[in-house]
Chain A
């Protein structure tokens, strides 16, 4: 079996990674093994669970459904970009305060889905939140606290302190 290799260059969280990889290398594997960013998790490898969700040019995508070579030149955002050394991103902070994670395996995917949601809708209703989260699976939390966290994050990012309580 000939294993074709191609030169791929991707910008992940603002930094460019370049490597000769197999043309069939999945984006999630590029992120995890070439760039070494292990925060992007793989739960099904067939596009259903959402654990591998990243942003490609600002839009959510399942990194297990793309070949790295096919998104050559794109800007990828992963969970590692959200927090600074000192502080969590407001969405992460809201997840923490709302007890929105247990094992944490699904969490990076939910965080990036929330980044996208709150980017286009600063004040989503509970129904809109549930709708937006429906493509990410969590087997631990039963979603209640994730839904709550997204609402808390939205309020915090709007600077609406009252809704934080």
Chain B
């Protein structure tokens, strides 16, 4: 770490402020909040069919149950709410609406058709079982690869071939067969369908406030401001000003809770109408059936390269499974545009073309789960690198190095126009190879391969990680309603204590700690005097909120900008107080001092007293009262972090089990705010990546029934599955944005998936197995081995 980057609190391992109450069991998650005695509990009746017409709904038995207040259907809610429409301005996107409760038709198993209002949660569940819905089943299109074919059942009548989104792109003068490309590879890569599965399911509590036509809406969400706007928009007659969204503790988000869900709109609409508290807490089955799913992608790729392994042409056609509706706010375009735009990664690929499609199916809507398109697009390009190596007999690490953007080529504008300002692609790969002992592994590999009956392999993923996307980045992907900026309001109170109101919302990232570090440095306060307020639209300024590796970049940037204004004012006031020029004042850890004159100083408290007119010093001429400033930060198109994961695996040919034996990460998220928190993000992400690579998969059958909507059958990694991961950092601060920060939330997941898959592919390459789909569950791996060995 360089000195200049880390002089204050930024860059230090500061222990988390959140821990003391969470460890004591005093964290207040949404289900822990005190609720009034007359709270109404909601239970949703979910469709058991993937595609059906609703013939009739008979709620008489449910209504008769003691403790049931009412049962409402899609028609009832249509009077209170407008259908959810995800507005995306992109040629090739077809708009469609989703009523908050199904109207006439259901389009996936779990879609809500009615809502029970009851006096407690047990009664709500009893009543849900008593609502009799008569369905007329219709033909189902659940499978990505067939849903877009002619004759497939249609999810929406106005969307032919279920092609809800399509896009094409070619670099200028694209040449599909350049002369230099003497060799070629065609391959397909397939990822399974997974989900974020935060340990705390979703839930909300809508409380009428004392003015009776307003509500305070507590929700386990990552996006309080976006949610509030959506509630204001979708509830008929509601005023956004009369809705205050508060985010309590959130038990994990991972993007799952960065969406606006129909249940939230229903709960808020009912609380506004009935003027009673309305609460809904989902159970795990509901969570797996209705919280956004992700991946389920097919990449068909073609690469042309020369005898040295250098790529001269890349062409991909990719399909993503959008599910039944475009989710709010990211819609169905996020994954196809993301994969198509990011696949070129840290490589010098100039001649590039893509076709990208999102396909509607009769399955749960997909959305933005940690990593979004990147695990599969890097599975694809990193799989291509390995295949080039195998075809030419060149080590796959060497193939990467030959294609990689070299340090002297930075800054780089990639094939789709995204600028990479700084990065450490070559250095990160080389360091990761040293850390894992790459050369030694390769030398031992033939002998080790079956020493204990297991195949061993090593896999690399070298990648760029898009983070901190600003407005231009969202516009480039058609998301016209996604702001891009975040904001901070910093107040030095009359007593000299500091309160910073940030537009973000915490779901485990330790914002109360890391933002305090940034605020303390930005204004020159003692960190003990800094309090962070966030996750409350009644207190914090507007912002885009917390997903897609944004908070350090956009929150950090906004804090620095607001902090600068406050600091300048403090310097002017201190200058007058100390009879020195403002330019000569330095502020640090609670004191303003005349540069070079130790002891010539005033405290922040004394400055604040002056600013708030609480002494007889008076302000400098022309200066206003108060000591606060707010500012916004909208980062550029994208802030590009990068990383390399390398891991080694042992594959047991007896049962197909894969064990990750070693895993190293070299990560570059620019200027690090708190190293142990950054490491935690990488470790946690890597566990989700291991799950995605080896075990997690939501399996729909042909009828669109989700086969494993429980945690016994949808496997999450446990402590026994995880290797010890060694992590090192290289810091290439961004020069295009504020503070040098790049995002870190998703890289742990993104890199682990291709690294593990490539390691398995490497282990099984001598058998001739082609590993091109995930998850690599034991039965699938065993099948590959048996097919290859003829056993």
Contact = CB atoms under 8 A, between A and B. Distances in A.
Interface of A: 1, 3, 22, 24-25, 32, 37-46, 48-49, 51, 78-80, 82-83, 88, 92, 95-97, 99, 101-108, 111, 129-131, 133-147
A103 B199 contact: yes
B65 A1 contact: yes
Contacts of A49: 199, 284, 711
A95 B250 CA distance: 19
A78, A133, A141 pick with most chain B CB within 10 angstroms: A141
A45 B203 CA distance: 15
A142 B197 contact: no
Interface of B, secondary structure class, is loop
B199 A138 contact: yes
B677 A99 contact: yes
A25 B122 CA distance: 9
Contacts of A25: 122
Given A1-B126, A103-B253, 17 more contacts: A38-B25, A39-B25, A99-B680, A102-B510, A103-B249, A103-B507, A104-B23, A105-B198, A105-B199, A130-B719, A130-B720, A136-B719, A139-B716, A141-B683, A141-B687, A142-B748, A143-B719
B354 to A, nearest CB: 32
Contact of A147 (B19, B250, B719): B719
Contacts of B213: none
B23 A101 contact: yes
B122 A103 contact: no
Interface stretch (B28-36, B162-170, B422-430, B438-446): B28-36
Interface in B156-207: 196-201
B120 to A, nearest CB: 9
15 contacts: A44-B710, A88-B20, A102-B508, A103-B199, A103-B200, A131-B720, A135-B718, A137-B199, A139-B196, A139-B716, A140-B508, A140-B684, A141-B683, A142-B684, A142-B748
A51 B199 contact: yes
A37 B725 CA distance: 36
B685 A142 contact: yes
Interface residues of B, number: 59
The 3 residue pairs across chains A and B that have the minimum distance between CB atoms: A39-B25, A105-B251, A103-B508
A38 B200 CA distance: 13
Contacts of A111: 23
Interface string B53-66: 00000000000011
Interface string B362-401: 0000000000000000000000000000000000000000
Nearest to B13: A99
A99 B469 CA distance: 28
B22 interface: yes
A43 B122 contact: no
B676 interface: yes
A99 B676 contact: yes
B16 interface: yes
A83 B371 CA distance: 37
